[in-house]
Amino acid sequence: MVIERTYRTSIVHQGYLEPRAAVAQVDALGSVTVWTTTQALFYTRSEVAEALGLPEHQVRIVATPLGGGFGGKFVLLEPLAAALAIALRRPVSLVLSRTEEFLTTTPAPASVFELKTGIAKDGRLTALQARVIFDAGAYAGAPLGIACLMLGGCYRLPHMDIRGYEVLTHKTGNGAYRAPGAVQAAFALESQMDLMARALGMDPLDLRLLNASAEGDLMANGNKWPRIGLRPCLERLKEERARRKASAGSNPRLKRGVGVAIGGWMGGIEPANAVCRLERDGTLSIIVGTVDMSGTNTAFAQIASEAFGLPTGLIRVVNADTEAAPYAGSSGGSKITYTVGAAVEKAARDARQQLFAIAARHLEAAVEDLELVDRAIQVRGAPAKAVPIAELAKASMQFAGKYEPVYGRGSTATIARSPAFAAHLAEVEVDLETGHVRVLDQVVVQDVGRAINPAAIEGQIQGAAAQGLGWALLERMPYDAHGQLLSATFMDYAMPASETVAAVRAVLVEVPSELGPFGAKGVGEPPVVGAPAAIANAVMDATGHRFTELPITSEAVRRAVSRGAR
């Protein structure tokens, strides 16, 4: 059996609450300082220095607390603000209005996916042919490679031909938005999987389990998948679905449907450093060059606590600026806990080793005979022979001190990714009279590697599900025939509100990474990828109509239902 369909997605803005803003000033020696809402501290410094022709040591970037980013806040205003400050020799502040945000920043690009899939009678996929097109706007750089890779990698496909194109147009340039390229690919692929399941009369989860990729299977680029949790997520979602109670509405014009989908993310990689400094009072300071926009500082404190042996309440994480911070990559791509977290673990272990060496000299005991208990180092089996950590720290930070200060260092240059997957189930209610779609229930089962902070991970999943609802039903940036943007304010650009987002149940599956700290993987991107597709499949289940374009607006539903009634 061969099924052929074309799928489209719209331009979607990241929709962060705080607009882009930058303040720059220049000192008497010509050095520039920029305070900015950026996700990428060191990348921003490099771009500003290159744009102005300055050496990097003359550019200082201070990342201010971020009012949302989701991949959209890398470099934009910073070189301009710095150039103006140099030209005027006085501080300059640049802040975008909301309309300027829509007209000049870098949203997720529109896409077209032309898919042709072959499937055998037993449900095994035989072939995939795809033509993928992204509207990159005024500048090249659409997430084409990611989209094509995920399109051809989630399922075992003995034959595939995937070709990607990006088209330049007179629209705003494109950028990253939480799992760039993967969301669009999942909508097309998972809608196609649902069509094939219906055509064969198969359970949609069984079809996915039959074909799901596993460790050792080939990806679209010819590489083999490492250890991944796709199948465990699908199996767990099947269990969760079986436990759900079927619900039915009493109003005949309200139809309910259930849809499933999967989505994954390869995971980001980038070298990183971290520093662990023991303070005079026996507390720890972890110094990193990251921007904490998703709770990564809490994870760093937990990692350091486990590696060093102190409670998290005695550990402080410092997000320093480019003058003082050790190098770290941009906060994005689901890589900060995976890469910088691993550097933090190494730094904490290095600091602990230094502390134990000092304690061994102080207590005249072998390092291997010591243990850390209640903020003190003691000889194992002889608790009376102990010394508080603070006492050792003070002895290393005083006039004529005989110990070197404890200053742990950790570095990573991980080149292997740890991909993560999530499986979604969505239940919707469709009003056949108005076309309004309401999401009633969402279940997201995600492989998180090792849940260092389960509460924070659940928050990431819930937020991603809300953004997926926006992709599926509401958000788009349309242009008219004259090139005028029709949704240049929040009055016109529809986003999920609190009353439109259903309760999201997050189920965590742990398939530990071999390289992440304590087995952790990146968790930010995977939960958004399959959300729009699951909602679209649920709308199909409720209405009997396959929607091949996002967002699925009330107008589109009403029009499709009316055609079906005739």
pLDDT at 248 (0 to 100): 65
Question: Which residues are catalytic, by number?
Answer: 525
Assessment of whether the complete model's pTM goes beyond 0.85: yes
Task: Tell me the pLDDT tens digit for each residue of 145-204.
Answer: 999 999 999 999 999 999 999 999 999 999 999 999 999 999 999 999 999 999 999 999
The whole-number average pLDDT for the span 406-419 is 96
Q: Is pLDDT of 565 > 70?
A: no
Q: What pLDDT is stored for residue 245 in this prediction?
A: 77
358 falls within a domain: yes
Between the alpha carbon of residue 478 and those of residues 10, 13, 232, 409, the distances in Å are 8, 11, 39, 50
- Count of CB atoms situated within 10 Å of the CB of 314: 17
Per-chain mean pLDDT for the chain: 96
Q: Where are the beta strands (DSSP E) in 120-175?
A: 125-137, 159-168
Same domain for 158 and 72: no
Reported as a single tens digit per residue, the pLDDT across 422-481 is 999 999 999 999 999 999 999 999 999 999 999 999 999 999 999 999 999 999 999 999
In a domain, 365, yes or no: yes
Average pLDDT over residues 206-231: 97
The residue type found at 561 is V
pLDDT greater than 70 at residue 52:
yes
CB 267 within 8 A of CB 339: no
Q: Indicate if 117 and 252 belong to the same structural domain.
A: yes
Name the amino acid, one letter, at 500: T
pLDDT value at 72 more than 80: yes
Asked whether residue 541 is domain-assigned, the answer is yes
Indicate if 233 and 87 belong to the same structural domain: no
Task: Report the C-alpha gap between 192 and 185 in whole angstroms.
Answer: 11
Residues 547 and 501 in one domain: yes
Looking at residues 538-562, what average pLDDT do you find?
Answer: 97
Question: Which of 38, 62, 95 is the endpoint of a domain?
Answer: 95
Question: Could you tell me what percent of the chain has a pLDDT over 70?
Answer: 99
Q: Are strands 254-265 and 284-288 parallel, antiparallel or unpaired?
A: unpaired
Mean pLDDT of the region 49-53 = 98
**152: DSSP letter:** T
Same domain? For 390 and 424 the reply is no
For residue 250, pLDDT over 80 is answered with: no
CATH number for the domain harbouring residue 299: 3.30.365.10
- Greater confidence (244 vs 529) lies with 529
> Among 71, 95, 119, which residue terminates a domain?
95
Q: Report if residue 100 sits inside a domain.
A: no
Helix segments in 111-216, DSSP class H: 144-151, 182-200, 204-211
Q: Tell me which residue range forms the domain holding 72.
A: 21-95
pLDDT digits (tens, 9 = 90+) for 391-404: 999 999 999 999 99
Helical H segments across 364-505, by residue range: 389-395, 454-469
Is there a domain that residue 101 lies in?
Answer: no
Average pLDDT over residues 313-324: 98
pLDDT tens-place string over residues 477-494: 999 999 999 999 999 999
Rg (CA), the chain: 26
124 and 254 both lie in a single domain: yes
Same domain, 114 and 251: yes
Q: Is the pLDDT of residue 566 over 60?
A: no
167: buried, middle or exposed (CB in 10 Å: 19+, 13-18, 0-12)?
A: middle
> Of 414, 443, 407, 423, whose CA–CA distance to 511 is shortest?
423
Strand-pair partners of 118: 2, 127
Identify the domain boundary among 70, 95, 120.
Answer: 95
Closest-CA residue to 422 (of 191, 259, 262, 532)? 262
Average pLDDT for residues 128-137, to the nearest whole number?
98
Instruction: State how many domains the chain has.
Output: 3
CA 547, 552, 554: angle at the middle one, nearest 5? 120
**Rounded Cα–Cα distance for residues 60 and 398 (Å):** 32
